[in-house]
């Protein structure tokens, strides 16, 4: 605070004095249309005794946002305002009465104030602006204004030194720097700072001729945690994963957050492929221990993709791209593992990207078509329904089977609009066959795990039935066992809802997935479909024969219908019929056919027993 007394009497006296002076001496305006206080004070000093203006002057200078020092011509500090004191992190009394030259040591300003004192002693009468590059820059910026203050005889008795305090600007710059280079959730470096460090590491590796490794780590099935436990738990898990990884890295290594559930690791110097592999194994081992949230334990695994310098790239962009390709391969290979980049991954990724682009175009240009494979009853030998199977009629590559593009559609999310198109087209077609007199035919349509996650699934299915005027009892939805792995309660609720509307639920490829008697008992399952891989060798492989027999027995005891897939030979047909299967489908009766050819098959009235026996 100011060193002069500031009681009410002084304030009133000096305020009235100011008014009196103001009447005979109007304030000049600066270029910014603000009062020129320097000129005002200079004139004020000429016409007023020093003791009478002290309080007013102190008040005004104290409230200034600029850092201000006032000294006499000998360099003795007479006044410093609050802004100066606060910027120096010291009390006002620390400076008063001291020589200005002592500030050189305190502010590490070299000889700035010593040289300034020489100018005071030499005398000057006009303000001067000084720029400097000393330690003052860290506290006050790099600019100061030196103004002589005239006494009663017109000679300078005091000098004011005015600084622009840049501490607020420095705080803003520091915040901007943090936001540019660090992740707000984890306080880890972000991708931008990681790229800078990777570029420096590549330069050092080139100079010293050693390898470095870049690892892209992704948490497995993190979305499940976010969706079931909430984003707050998900954020906490991301933070805890970051802390655990950072704690187990060497100081020279870099851990950054890529974004979402992905982290980046940089090992700036590795000796070999084997050393990198050992480091990757240690990182995966960190996820064998659970993460604790209040009273809840959460287990999560991770997958990693690794690229090495210089084998897999010499620039940061290429190294990151190749690590990403390796991570995708790790996830495709079963997760909870790591993969090194290979050139083959580039060809695969390029092929997938080309295929995805073409698949999106196929949906827009109606290149997809449905084929229908008959389902035949053992009891009557007649066609009782059909399974709808999608095909892609590519303009250049011809007919593409589903196993070539369905996995990609599921990965990219295209399976959702594609699935709606398949369901609507199939329901519309069977409605047409009903109108032609084949009123008991049912249609079976596959439902992927990705479609099953859609919140409006039930409404979408029922709306399609309504639009195509198909009674839901003629619709069978085929699902795989992997659907049950997410949330059995939600799965049960959805299937119960569909079942109550009359829709039949079938388990496709039974026995090849996570087979469990529990869900067969709990869920409204109407049909078990024996996978073609068991049917194929059921006459030559004792294990396959035993599996087919067991599946048939389970279905009978649970009062479920049994459909055998992939029947291609008469002995297979006889074996399955004797076991008690209800119906079958396969090339022995007919391959999947376009709608027009299937119509011809219906009109011919083809029967299993009419053509076979």
| Whole-number Å distance between alpha carbons of 321 and 313 | 9
Per-residue model confidence (pLDDT) at position 474: 96
pLDDT along the chain (613 residues), means of 10: 41 45 42 44 52 55 74 86 82 87 80 81 70 63 75 72 66 70 88 91 90 92 75 89 93 91 93 88 91 83 91 87 87 82 67 73 84 94 94 83 80 83 95 95 90 82 95 93 67 87 88 65 88 88 89 90 93 92 94 94 87 45
Write out the DSSP string of 343-395.
HHHHHHHHHHHHHHHHHHHHHHTT-EEEEEEEEEETTT-SEEEEEEEEEEEET
- Retrieve residue 242's tokens: 């970051």
Question: What one-character DSSP code corresponds to residue 403?
Answer: G
308 beta partners: 213
- Retrieve residue 528's tokens: 């078990």
Residues 6 or more apart whose CB falls under 8 angstroms from that of 184 comprise none
Bridge-based pairing of strands 583-584 and 561-564 is parallel
Residue 124's alpha-carbon distances to 116, 230, 412, 551, in angstroms, are: 11, 71, 77, 107
Per-residue model confidence (pLDDT) at position 13: 47
E strands, 485-525, where?
504-510
Q: Terminal CA-to-CA distance of the chain, rounded, Å? A: 113
Per-residue model confidence (pLDDT) at position 33: 40
In which residue are the tokens 């520091």 written?
A: 174
Peptide bond preceding 310: is omega within 30 degrees of 0, i.e. cis?
A: yes
- Distance, CA of 450 to chain centre: 20
Q: What is the CA radius of gyration of the chain?
A: 41
Per-residue model confidence (pLDDT) at position 279: 92
| Whole-number Å distance between alpha carbons of 402 and 43 | 93
Residue 600's alpha-carbon distances to 279, 426, 596, in angstroms, are: 64, 17, 7
Helix (H, G, I), strand (E, B) or coil at 593: strand
Inter-residue contact 378 to 581 (CB < 8 Å): yes
Domains and CATH numbers, the chain: 8-169 (3.30.450.20), 182-341 (3.30.70.270), 364-612 (3.20.20.450)
Per-residue model confidence (pLDDT) at position 35: 38
Helix (H, G, I), strand (E, B) or coil at 141: coil
- Retrieve residue 254's tokens: 């870099």
Per-residue model confidence (pLDDT) at position 506: 93
Helix (H, G, I), strand (E, B) or coil at 312: coil
In which residue are the tokens 């240009």 written?
A: 365
Residue 218's alpha-carbon distances to 222, 449, 580, in angstroms, are: 9, 21, 48
Alpha helices in 508-594 (DSSP H): 517-522, 532-536, 542-557, 570-579
Angle, CA 283 vertex, CA 277 and CA 286 arms, to 5°:
145
């Amino acid at each position: 605070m100011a060193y002069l007394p500031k009681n009410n009497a002084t304030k009133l006296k000096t305020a009235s004095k100011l008014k009196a002076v103001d009447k005979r001496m109007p304030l000049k305006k600066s270029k910014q249309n603000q009062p020129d206080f320097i000129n005002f004070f200079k004139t004020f000093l000429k016409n007023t005794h020093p003791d009478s203006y002290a309080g007013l002057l102190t008040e005004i200078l104290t409230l200034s946002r600029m850092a201000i020092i006032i000294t006499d011509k000998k360099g003795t500090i007479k006044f410093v305002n609050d802004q100066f004191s606060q910027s120096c992190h010291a009390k006002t009394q620390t400076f008063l009465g001291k020589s200005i030259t002592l500030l050189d040591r305190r502010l590490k300003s070299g000889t700035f104030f010593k040289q300034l004192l020489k100018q005071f002693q030499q005398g000057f009468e006009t303000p001067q602006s000084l720029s400097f590059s000393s330690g003052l820059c860290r506290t006050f910026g790099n600019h100061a204004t030196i103004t002589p203050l005239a006494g009663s005889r017109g000679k300078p008795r005091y000098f004011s030194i005015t600084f622009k305090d840049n501490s607020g600007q420095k705080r803003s710059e520091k915040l901007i720097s943090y936001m540019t280079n660090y992740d707000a959730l984890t306080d880890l470096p972000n991708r931008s700072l990681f790229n800078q460090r990777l570029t420096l590491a590549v330069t050092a590796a080139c100079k010293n001729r050693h390898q470095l490794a870049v690892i892209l780590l992704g948490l497995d099935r993190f979305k499940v945690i976010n969706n079931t436990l909430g984003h707050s738990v998900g954020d906490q898990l991301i933070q805890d994963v970051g802390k655990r990884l950072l704690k187990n890295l060497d100081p020279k290594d870099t851990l950054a957050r890529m974004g979402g559930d992905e982290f980046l690791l940089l090992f700036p110097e590795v000796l070999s492929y084997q050393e990198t592999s050992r480091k990757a194994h240690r990182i995966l081992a960190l996820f064998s221990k659970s993460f604790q949230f209040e009273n809840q334990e959460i287990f999560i695994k991770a997958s990693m993709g690794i690229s090495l310098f210089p084998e897999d790239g010499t620039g940061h962009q290429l190294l990151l791209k190749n690590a990403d390709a390796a991570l995708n391969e790790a996830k495709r290979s079963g997760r909870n593992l790591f993969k090194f980049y290979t050139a083959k991954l580039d060809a695969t990724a390029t092929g997938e990207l080309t295929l995805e682009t073409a698949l999106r175009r196929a949906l827009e240009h109606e290149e997809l078509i449905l084929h229908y494979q008959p389902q035949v009853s053992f009891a009557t030998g007649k066609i009782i329904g059909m399974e709808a199977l999608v095909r892609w009629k590519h303009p250049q590559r011809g007919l593409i089977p589903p196993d070539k593009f369905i996995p990609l559609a599921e990965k990219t999310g295209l399976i959702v609009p594609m699935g709606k198109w398949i369901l609507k087209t199939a329901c519309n077609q069977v409605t047409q066959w009903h109108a032609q007199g084949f009123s008991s035919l049912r249609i079976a349509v596959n439902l992927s795990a990705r479609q099953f996650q859609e919140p409006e699934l039930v409404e979408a299915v029922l709306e399609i039935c309504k639009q195509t005027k198909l009674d839901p009892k003629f619709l069978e939805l085929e699902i795989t066992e992997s659907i049950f792995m997410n949330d059995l309660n939600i799965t049960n609720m959805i299937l119960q809802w569909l079942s109550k509307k009359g829709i039949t639920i079938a388990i496709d490829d039974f026995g090849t997935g996570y087979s469990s008697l529990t869900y067969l008992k709990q869920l409204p399952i109407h049909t078990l479909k024996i996978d073609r891989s068991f049917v194929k060798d059921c006459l030559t492989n004792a294990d396959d024969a035993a599996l087919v027999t067991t599946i048939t027995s389970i279905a009978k005891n649970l009062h479920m219908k049994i459909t055998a897939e992939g029947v291609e030979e008469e002995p297979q047909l006889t074996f399955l019929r004797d076991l008690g299967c209800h119906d079958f489908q396969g090339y022995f009766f007919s391959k999947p056919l376009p709608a027009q050819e299937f119509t011809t098959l219906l009109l011919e009235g083809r029967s299993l027993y009419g053509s076979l026996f």
